[in-house]
Amino acid sequence: MPACLYQVDGATVSPTSLTMGPWSASAQHGGPPSALLTALAERHLDTDENLSRLHVDLLSAIPLEPLQFESSYERKSRRVAHVEVRLLNTERVFAQATALLVRSSDAPQPQHIAEPDKIRSPYEIADIAPPAWWSPPGSTPFHSHAVAHRFVSGAFDRPGPAVDWIRLKVPVIDGIEPTAAQRIAAVSDLGSGISAVFGPDSGFGMINTDLNIGFVGRPTGEWFCLIAESTVAGDGTGLATARVLDETGSMVAVTSQSLLGLHLP
């Protein structure tokens, strides 16, 4: 099994088989490119800046083949900057992200601090292997092989909300330890999958066309808990949302995904 999600050589990005998604053996899952775009945006971070927001547009199926990346940086004010990153080939842009970088400053102690969620630790729960239909025989897709799942509630094959501890098991970029923000971006794209409202026998599914993450401070750790729920309208569209907790039970991010329905083959 590959030891990372991507190999990066200059401006060329080569995905490994661990980036494969659930819809096609020739297309990537949304989690790996979201994490990659995060890593590329973080290259512009100064030591006193935080990644405050990440908006990822998944514009079309992202092929399992080498792509190029390009980025631009614009300082908006003394404390705010924007970074734009794109994954593309000579013909089209497949995914793009806008990152909001915010410079930190001295601040007094908040007069109200939210109590951490009282939720079972991931170290009290065993890994739960995804069902066979999540992974074609002989394949190593992202959602079943590059991450570990430990459900507090919900299940892969039980439609409805879910609470799931998820850990990225490999680096996003070969040889580089992933940051917490990269880990959160990678696992957050799974929110719509673990909280799906259609079961595997329905012949219908919802794919996300974007991923929005609002970060709180500078998260740390490897295990992150998604408290995820999907809401679907009668016209084949929907929204998946999640609160993301760290191992202390503190909220470190809030995510949303715009959903689009499709009939499965």
- Residue-averaged pLDDT of the chain: 92
Per-residue pLDDT, 115: 76
Closest among 65, 68, 72 to 93, alpha carbons compared: 68
Query: Domains in the chain and their CATH numbers?
Result: 6-104+122-263 (2.40.160.210)
Per-residue pLDDT, 107: 65
In order of 38, 96, 181, 227, the CA distances from 224 in angstroms are 16, 24, 11, 10
Per-residue pLDDT, 57: 98
Window from 9-23, 34-48, 114-128, 205-219 with minimum mean pLDDT = 114-128
Closest among 36, 257, 32, 9 to 140, alpha carbons compared: 32
Per-residue pLDDT, 157: 83
Q: What is the mean pLDDT of residues 254-262?
A: 96
**Which SS3 state, helix, strand or coil, does residue 89 take?**
coil
Is 221 a residue whose pLDDT tops 90? Answer: yes
Q: What is the mean pLDDT of residues 108-112?
A: 72
- Which residues, at least 6 apart from 108, have a Cβ–Cβ distance to it below 8 Å? none
